[in-house]
């Protein structure tokens, strides 16, 4: 019996797709890679998902959860075939609780839609990934998404109070609560946040909200060099100013944006920063003046402060245009990484990245979140440079580790970084994580092949190797 035949009796015809042209629509994500699934299922409630997991375990077929498919590291790719479980019909904001400052939402809710809904109530959900106009809350939780406001407000993990989850065996569980204090048992909620869909399928989330800030001000500044921009970040922090965002573009990104928008950024600019502050009106005015002074003291070539919401949007247009503007460099592929280092090390890592680019003669463009040290590294090779580009990425990763950084800040590991995970995690940590995966998913049904490579670059004991083989064989998808 095929997996489609096994699923069909349990679902309405419009919930199961198996035609090749339909499957193609769910074979890819933002990495540009694609793998054909054997079936696509659109569940409508947790019980539907429970049934899918029961059938999948019975037939030893893997299940890959999918939200908007906007992930950058392959987390929703059906690399081994199997069933793609599309969560977009879980798209309800169940409750906005203005007394307890929480929202209860389903995972298919688009992030920006939640922003609008809570802000209409005078509330605020801070996580704002760049993909917020199409990414979903479930995907944000699975990847522990950050965004531009993370420097002040933190990442998704800081706002998830509780979850409803379907486990790999089909059991439905609830973790956490609306309570801000909750130490009843292990913190399974935080274990699931950032687990990339490998431990459970989220069907509902309880999210913490904040009061909507009264005011905000936005400033942009261009600098002669990334070193000047880095000193600005350090000085703002030293003066105990905590901006909502501190975004930066290196000289290559500045050039691309200027070519794309034709806005005449300061001649000779080696770096561009966008800084926003929010809070009470009086404090916002004081902080933006302090930020302006710090920029001026660190050799800013040009400083602009938006005086209206329209002006703020125009300044943000520059930052949000970076990815599109990179087309001016005409690469054959775009290798997108999101490294993170202690923020004081940003000038150092940028210098190393520039040296690596020169060594391998490949174009590298950097932009990202200066306030929390998270850099979006874009390697843009020509046709003959693809192999060199991947070597350059690995060498950059080594410099990141040398500076006490991490190979991913918000995109996750997925498939694209799994071969490098050992650079950040020691043997015992990886073994502990794999033990959790095996305990929760003994048949390796749920999103197999993500996060951990099949072979790690150290010697196995015979027992560890046997365990690895058992997990791999159990995860073969029919």
Give the pLDDT confidence of 29-77 residue by residue, as tens digits. 988 899 999 999 999 999 999 999 999 999 999 999 999 999 999 999 9
Give the separation between CA 211 and CA 369, rounded to whole angstroms. Answer: 24
Same domain membership, residue 281 and residue 370: no
Same domain membership, residue 343 and residue 317: no
The answer to whether the beta carbons of residues 453 and 68 sit under 8 Å apart is no
Strands 160-166 and 215-223: unpaired
Q: Which of 177, 211, 245 is the last residue of a domain?
A: 211
The answer to whether the beta carbons of residues 161 and 103 sit under 8 Å apart is no
Residue 332 has pLDDT above 50, yes or no: yes
Q: Which of 306, 324, 342 is the last residue of a domain?
A: 324
R_g (Cα) of the chain, nearest Å? 23
Residue 1 has pLDDT above 60, yes or no: yes
- What b/e string do you get for 187-225 counting C-beta neighbours within 10 Å, with b at 16 or more? ebbbebbbbbbbbbbbbbbbbbbeeebeebbbbbbbbbb
Read off the pLDDT of each residue in 294-323 and give the average, rounded to a whole number. Answer: 90
What's residue 42's pLDDT?
98
What's residue 455's pLDDT?
64
What's residue 472's pLDDT?
42
What CATH number does the domain containing 335 carry? 3.30.70.2740
Residue 16 has pLDDT above 90, yes or no: yes
Same domain membership, residue 236 and residue 170: no
pLDDT above 70 as % of the chain: 95
Same domain membership, residue 335 and residue 320: no
The answer to the question of residue 22 being in a domain is no
pTM of the predicted structure, to 2 decimals: 0.92
Give the separation between CA 114 and CA 279, rounded to whole angstroms. Answer: 21
Q: Which of 211, 238, 260 is the last residue of a domain?
A: 211
Same domain membership, residue 183 and residue 102: yes
Instruction: Tell me which range, 100-114, 230-244, 346-360, 464-478, is most confidently predicted by mean pLDDT.
Output: 100-114
Number of helices (H), then strands (E), in the chain? 16, 18
pLDDT above 90 as % of the chain: 81
What CATH number does the domain containing 157 carry? 3.30.465.10
Residue 298 has pLDDT above 50, yes or no: yes
Same domain membership, residue 113 and residue 186: yes
Model confidence band, residue 406 (pLDDT cutoffs 50, 70, 90): very high
How many structural domains are present in the chain? 3
Read off the pLDDT of each residue in 255-266 and give the average, rounded to a whole number. Answer: 83
Residue 322 has pLDDT above 50, yes or no: yes
Give the separation between CA 360 and CA 343, rounded to whole angstroms. Answer: 26
Residue 465 has pLDDT above 60, yes or no: no
Residue 265 has pLDDT above 80, yes or no: no
The answer to the question of residue 463 being in a domain is no
What's residue 457's pLDDT?
57
Same domain membership, residue 335 and residue 275: no
Same domain membership, residue 375 and residue 281: no
- Look over the chain and give the mean of its residue pLDDT values, rounded to a whole number: 92
Burial class (CB in 10 A: 0-12, 13-18, 19+), 348: middle
What's residue 268's pLDDT?
77
Same domain membership, residue 198 and residue 139: yes
Model confidence band, residue 459 (pLDDT cutoffs 50, 70, 90): very low
Provide the domain limits for residue 145. 93-211
Same domain membership, residue 227 and residue 192: no
Read off the pLDDT of each residue in 226-245 and give the average, rounded to a whole number. Answer: 92
The full length of the chain comes to 478
């Amino acid at each position: 019996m095929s997996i489609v035949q096994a699923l069909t009796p349990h679902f309405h015809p419009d919930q199961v797709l198996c035609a090749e042209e339909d499957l193609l629509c769910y074979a890819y994500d933002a990495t540009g890679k694609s793998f054909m699934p054997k079936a696509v299922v659109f569940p409508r409630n947790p019980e539907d998902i429970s049934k899918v997991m029961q059938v999948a375990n019975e037939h030893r077929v893997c299940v890959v959860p999918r939200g908007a498919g906007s992930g950058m590291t392959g987390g929703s790719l059906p690399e081994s075939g199997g069933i793609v479980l599309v969560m977009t019909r879980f798209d309800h904001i169940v409750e906005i609780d203005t007394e307890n400052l929480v929202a209860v939402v389903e995972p298919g809710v688009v992030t920006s839609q939640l922003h609008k809904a809570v802000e209409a109530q005078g509330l605020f959900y801070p996580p704002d990934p760049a993909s917020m106009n199409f990414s979903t809350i479930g995907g944000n939780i699975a990847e522990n998404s950050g965004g531009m406001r993370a420097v002040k407000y933190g990442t998704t993990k800081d706002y998830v109070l509780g979850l409803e989850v379907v486990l790999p065996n089909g059991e439905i569980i609830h973790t956490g609560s609306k309570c801000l204090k909750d130490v009843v048992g292990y913190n399974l909620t935080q274990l699931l946040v950032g687990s990339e869909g490998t431990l459970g399928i989220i069907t509902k989330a309880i999210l913490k909200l904040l009061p909507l800030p009264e005011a905000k001000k936005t400033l942009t500044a261009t600098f002669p060099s990334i070193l000047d921009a880095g000193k600005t970040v350090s000085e703002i922090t030293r003066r105990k100013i905590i901006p909502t965002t501190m975004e930066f573009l290196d000289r290559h990104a500045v050039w691309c944006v200027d070519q794309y928008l034709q806005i005449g950024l300061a001649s000779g600019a080696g770096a561009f920063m966008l800084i926003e502050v929010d809070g009470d009106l009086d404090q916002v005015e004081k902080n933006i003046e302090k930020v302006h002074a710090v920029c001026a003291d660190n050799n800013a070539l040009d400083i602009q402060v938006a005086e209206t919401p329209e002006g703020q949007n125009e300044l943000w247009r520059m930052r949000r245009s970076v990815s599109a503007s990179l087309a001016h460099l005409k690469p054959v592929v775009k290798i997108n990484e999101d490294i993170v280092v202690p923020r004081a090390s940003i000038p150092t890592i940028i210098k190393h990245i520039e040296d690596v680019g020169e060594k391998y003669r490949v174009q590298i463009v950097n932009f990202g979140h200066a306030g929390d040290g998270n850099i979006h590294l874009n390697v843009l090779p020509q046709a003959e440079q693809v192999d060199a580009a991947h070597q350059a990425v690995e060498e950059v990763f080594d410099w990141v580790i040398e500076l006490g950084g991490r190979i991913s800040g918000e995109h996750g590991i997925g498939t694209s970084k799994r071969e490098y995970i050992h650079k950040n995690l020691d043997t015992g940590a990886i073994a502990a994580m794999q033990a959790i995966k095996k305990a929760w998913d003994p048949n390796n049904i749920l999103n197999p092949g993500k996060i951990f490579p099949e072979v790690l670059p150290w010697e196995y004991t015979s027992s560890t190797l046997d365990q690895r083989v058992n997990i791999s064989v159990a995860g073969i998808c029919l």
